[in-house]
């Protein structure tokens, strides 16, 4: 690995970070809406050079240039059009309200997006909320909540330290900031001596990306990747005591709860850098093998004269299509978000379409970018049976990894088959993009693990403060 002698880890100040992975000329935005195909293909691009800190486990893109980014109202990353994600978000909001007795309280959300989660927190607990996000778009339905909610179309900064709250929420924002201290230090200063204030942060789980090979989550906008060790240390360094650290959303997210303190532990109370170091050492080879496997499978689809679509026009879909250079072999990407439909995907320029589009297009293969939505997508297509569509389902193996992810390409031949809404009886193959010979869902949670219920989203506590 190439040692960067001048690179200082922003979390622990170690000078020993090393570059272990590169992706060059990738779209700098995955969720910006492009109205023209050529504009999408000519979108701004940047390089990814990931460096790993062996002291705390922090991973960062050392080639990241914040000047390339400028979030606006054309940025669209809401996932609340998915019932699966909506159930998760509502369950999370209910848990936070119940655990911290948030009734008639003040809540701040940093990076609130379009305000969906903040609205849930306020409605469920009759709370008051302030949301910060430059990409926030005012909605008519928000006007009826204006006595309870305020949205500020700006980044949270020291300029807003006069805003106080009982709970401060920040979901999927910290990974967009090159130095976590640039947000955490001003936040701790703003809280001051209000030591009962709770902060809740949610970030993508680096263990899912680098240990379990969820490689399509590597994007330019994410200049930081947190494992439990680095996330807890970042908060400890800023003057917070980590109270709870858990995996959520089937291991895809890390959720951290903390409170301000003057006596935080030196490393945040969480260990585990050495196993992550081994994962990082093996990552590049496994990544390349996964890419080659997918290139082979897609070549087979093309050679067979089959039509394929991708389901999911978010970060995973953008990385998948750009990394494999699928400009011509895949024309369309399906997404439930109506604000994305009719737009074009950054880099390769596929048109984003609604699920109903498939009734006429009739693809042979549907590639599901995030396996956690598999059952939801099945249900959407299964509804067609109620309307007279002929559809047929192959028996699924009890081993989820064999039928959904696959341990070798040949196992994909018995994957889930379904009809499409109002379709003509064609049978597309649906399989997850986590297909790889190295990591399967069963290898992480047991081959016969049941779906996670909405009442137990925190499937794997990592560390919890003793009462």
- Beta strand residue intervals within 360-433, DSSP E: 365-368, 429-432
Q: Are residues 88 and 66 both part of a single domain?
A: no
Please report the pLDDT score of residue 379 as a whole number: 79
Please report the pLDDT score of residue 2 as a whole number: 44
pLDDT for 219-258, tens place per residue? 999 999 999 999 999 999 999 999 999 999 999 999 999 9
Q: Are residues 49 and 129 both part of a single domain?
A: no
Boundary-marking domain end, from 218, 241, 263: 263
The percent of residues above 90 in pLDDT, for the chain, comes to 61
The percent of residues above 70 in pLDDT, for the chain, comes to 76
Q: Between 184 and 4, where is the model more confident? A: 184
Range of the domain at 10: 2-71
Q: Are residues 218 and 339 both part of a single domain?
A: no
Q: Are residues 118 and 152 both part of a single domain?
A: yes
pLDDT (mean) for 85-97: 93
269 — pLDDT class (breaks 50, 70, 90): low
pLDDT at 285 over 60: yes
pLDDT for 302-350, tens place per residue? 999 999 999 999 899 999 999 999 888 899 999 998 989 999 999 999 9
pLDDT (mean) for 101-115: 96
Do β-strands 365-368 and 308-311 pair in parallel, antiparallel, or remain unpaired?
parallel
Q: Are residues 178 and 220 both part of a single domain?
A: yes
67 falls within a domain: yes
Tell me if 96 sits within 8 A of 120, measured CB to CB. no
Tell me if 369 sits within 8 A of 311, measured CB to CB. yes
Q: Are residues 113 and 241 both part of a single domain?
A: yes
Please report the pLDDT score of residue 142 as a whole number: 72
Please report the pLDDT score of residue 422 as a whole number: 33
Angle at which helices 181-191 and 228-237 cross, to 10°: 50
pLDDT for 132-153, tens place per residue? 998 888 877 777 777 899 999 9
Q: Are residues 221 and 361 both part of a single domain?
A: no
Please report the pLDDT score of residue 374 as a whole number: 87
pLDDT for 373-402, tens place per residue? 888 887 776 654 344 333 222 222 233 222
320 falls within a domain: yes
Q: Are residues 105 and 153 both part of a single domain?
A: yes
The model carries a pTM of: 0.81
CA 169, CA 199: separation in Å to the nearest integer? Answer: 6
393 falls within a domain: yes
Q: Are residues 246 and 321 both part of a single domain?
A: no
Q: Are residues 226 and 141 both part of a single domain?
A: yes
pLDDT at 84 over 90: no
41 falls within a domain: yes
CATH of the domain at 433: 3.40.50.720
pLDDT at 457 over 80: no
Please report the pLDDT score of residue 145 as a whole number: 77
pLDDT for 28-51, tens place per residue? 988 888 899 999 999 999 999 999
164 falls within a domain: yes
288 falls within a domain: no
Burial class (CB in 10 A: 0-12, 13-18, 19+), 357: middle
467 falls within a domain: no
Q: What is the total count of domains within the chain?
A: 3
DSSP 28-69: S-SSB-BSSHHHHHT--EEEEEEEE-TTT--EEETT--GGG-
CA 332, CA 309: separation in Å to the nearest integer? Answer: 6
Q: Are residues 123 and 198 both part of a single domain?
A: yes
Angle at which helices 116-125 and 83-100 cross, to 10°: 50
Tell me how far apart the 2 most distant CA atoms of the chain are, in Å.
Answer: 66
423 — pLDDT class (breaks 50, 70, 90): very low
Please report the pLDDT score of residue 419 as a whole number: 32
Q: Are residues 66 and 88 both part of a single domain?
A: no
Which range (80-89, 297-306, 450-459) has the least confidence? 450-459
Please report the pLDDT score of residue 267 as a whole number: 60
Q: Between 193 and 423, where is the model more confident? A: 193
463 falls within a domain: no
Q: Write down the mean pLDDT value for the chain.
A: 80
């Amino acid at each position: 690995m190439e040692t960067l002698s001048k690179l200082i880890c922003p979390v622990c100040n170690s000078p020993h970070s090393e570059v272990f992975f590169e992706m060059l000329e990738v779209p700098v935005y995955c969720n910006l809406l492009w109205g023209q195909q050529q504009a999408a293909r000519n979108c701004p691009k940047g390089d990814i050079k990931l460096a790993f800190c062996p002291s705390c486990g922090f991973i960062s893109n050392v080639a990241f240039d914040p000047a390339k980014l400028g979030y606006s109202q054309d940025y669209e990353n809401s996932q609340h059009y998915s019932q699966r994600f909506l159930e998760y978000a509502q369950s999370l909001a209910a848990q936070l309200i119940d655990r911290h007795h948030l009734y008639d309280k003040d809540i701040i959300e940093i990076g609130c997006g379009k305000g969906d989660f903040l609205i849930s927190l306020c409605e469920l607990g009759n709370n008051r909320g302030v949301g910060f996000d430059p990409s926030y778009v005012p909605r008519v339905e928000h006007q009826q909540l204006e006595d309870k909610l305020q949205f500020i179309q700006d980044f949270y900064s020291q300029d807003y330290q006069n805003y106080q709250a009982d709970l401060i929420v920040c979901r999927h924002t910290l990974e967009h900031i090159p130095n976590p201290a640039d947000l955490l230090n001003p936040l701790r200063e703003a809280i001051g001596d209000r030591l009962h204030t709770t902060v809740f942060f949610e970030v993508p789980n680096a263990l899912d990306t680098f240990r379990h090979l969820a490689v399509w989550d590597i994007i330019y906008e994410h200049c930081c990747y947190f494992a439990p060790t680095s996330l807890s240390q970042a908060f400890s360094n800023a003057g917070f005591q980590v109270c709870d650290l858990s995996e959520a959303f089937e291991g895809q997210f890390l959720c951290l709860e903390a409170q301000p303190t003057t006596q935080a532990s030196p490393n945040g109370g969480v260990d585990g850098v050495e196993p992550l170091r081994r994962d990082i050492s093996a990552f590049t080879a496994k990544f390349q093998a996964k890419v080659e496997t997918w290139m082979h499978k897609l070549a087979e689809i093309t050679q067979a004269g089959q039509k394929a679509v991708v389901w999911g026009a978010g970060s995973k879909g953008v990385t998948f299509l750009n990394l494999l250079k699928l400009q011509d072999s895949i024309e369309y990407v399906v997404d439930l978000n109506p604000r994305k439909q009719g737009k074009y995907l950054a880099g390769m320029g596929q048109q984003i379409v609604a699920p109903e589009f498939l009734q006429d297009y009739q693809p042979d293969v549907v590639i599901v970018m995030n396996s956690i939505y598999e059952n939801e997508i099945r249900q959407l297509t299964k509804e067609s049976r109620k309307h007279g569509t002929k559809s047929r389902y192959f028996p699924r193996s009890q081993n989820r990894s064999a039928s959904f992810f696959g341990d070798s390409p040949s196992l994909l031949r018995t994957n889930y088959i379904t009809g499409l809404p109002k379709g003509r009886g064609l049978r597309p193959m649906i399989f997850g993009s986590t297909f790889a010979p190295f990591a399967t869902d069963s290898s992480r949670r047991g081959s016969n693990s049941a779906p996670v219920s909405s009442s137990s989203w925190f499937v794997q506590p990592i560390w919890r403060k003793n009462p």
